């Protein structure tokens, strides 16, 4: 059987960039003269959030807003337990208030996701849980999300090994410490470096490593198969 003859590819006015027109004399195709859409490049497919991703980020923000509130309730008992070092209780818990940033980034793997999820969690604390920090907590959430997402951004959201999550914890600790050091005057204290060390350990364990463990646990259930983390697990 002879192969169908095709005319050279040519662009058509009004067609999307990269689209081509092909005609064929094969009566079974039914595509003669029709515009054949070009496949978008991988970079184009990654831009923006899909509806599923937006819903997931919103859910994570709400859930972890309540989780963060629960950790706030542990703050006072921890201060009592720490005695003379009670002022460091907030640094001990620091990582627990940032975990949704790297978790959301791990699952969706698009720019700004960690910042958005962290800020949404702060919004839930302010609006629904009457956080004593008030609207300023939204700025805190933005700073926390920025610090946690920075290492992933430096890899262009292509590396998700354990070392990136450790770096995420360290980055989150340094950025939030700098913000709060100005806000609360920590740098003038005798144990400022001890405070920083405690916060780095907290953020590495409760923010970076915890986010990786939570993401892997959720992915194993199959609940995240429709997202980037699911596609990566399938190879």
Give the H/E segment covering residue 142. Answer: helix 136-154
| Band of residue 189 on the pLDDT scale cut at 50, 70, 90 | confident
Q: What is the pLDDT of residues 20-43, one digit of tens each?
A: 444 444 444 444 444 444 444 444
The terminus-to-terminus CA distance of the chain in angstroms comes to: 39
Q: What is the CA radius of gyration of the chain?
A: 24
Average of per-residue pLDDT across 138-152: 97
Strand partners, 35: 21
Report d(CA 191, CA 91) in Å as an integer: 12
For residue 171, give both structure tokens: 């980055």
149 Ramachandran zone, left/alpha/beta (phi>0; psi -120 to 50): alpha
pLDDT value at residue 131: 83
DSSP per-residue letters across 61-111: HHHHHHHHHHHHHHHHHHHHHHGGGGGGHHHHSGGGGTTHHHHHHHHH--T
Give the H/E segment covering residue 20. Answer: strand 20-21
pLDDT value at residue 3: 43
- Backbone phi, psi, residue 21, to 5°: -115, 130
For the chain, what percent of residues have pLDDT higher than 90?
75
Contact 117, 100 (CB under 8 A): yes
Give residues with Cβ within 8 angstroms of 91, minimum separation 6: 195, 198, 199, 202
Q: What is the pTM of this model?
A: 0.80
- DSSP class of residue 161 equals S
Please tell me the least confidently modeled range out of 31-35, 123-127, 187-191.
31-35
pLDDT value at residue 235: 80
- Between 45 and 83, the more confident residue is 83
Mean pLDDT of the chain: 85
Give residues with Cβ within 8 angstroms of 125, minimum separation 6: 65, 68, 69, 72, 131, 133, 137
Average of per-residue pLDDT across 146-164: 98
């Amino acid at each position: 059987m002879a192969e169908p003859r095709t005319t050279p590819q040519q662009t058509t006015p009004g067609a999307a960039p990269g689209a081509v027109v092909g005609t064929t004399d094969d009566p079974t195709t039914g595509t003669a003269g029709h515009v054949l859409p070009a496949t978008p490049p991988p970079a184009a497919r990654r831009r923006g959030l899909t509806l599923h991703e937006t819903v997931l980020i919103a859910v994570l923000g709400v859930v972890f807003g309540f989780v963060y509130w629960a950790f706030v309730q542990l703050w006072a008992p921890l201060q009592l337990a720490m005695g003379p070092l009670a002022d460091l209780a907030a640094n001990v818990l620091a990582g627990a208030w940032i975990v949704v940033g790297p978790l959301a980034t791990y699952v969706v793997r698009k720019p700004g996701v960690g910042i958005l999820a962290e800020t949404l969690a702060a919004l839930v604390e302010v609006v629904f849980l009457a956080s004593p920090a008030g609207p300023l907590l939204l700025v805190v959430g933005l700073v926390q999300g920025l610090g946690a997402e920075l290492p992933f951004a430096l890899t262009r959201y292509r590396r998700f090994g354990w070392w990136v999550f450790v770096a995420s914890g360290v980055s989150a600790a340094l950025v939030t410490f700098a913000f709060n050091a100005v806000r609360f005057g920590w740098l003038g204290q005798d144990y400022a470096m001890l405070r920083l060390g405690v916060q780095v350990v907290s953020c590495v364990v409760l923010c970076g490593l915890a986010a990786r463990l939570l993401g892997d646990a959720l992915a194993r259930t199959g609940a995240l198969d429709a997202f980037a983390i699911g596609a990566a697990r399938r190879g």
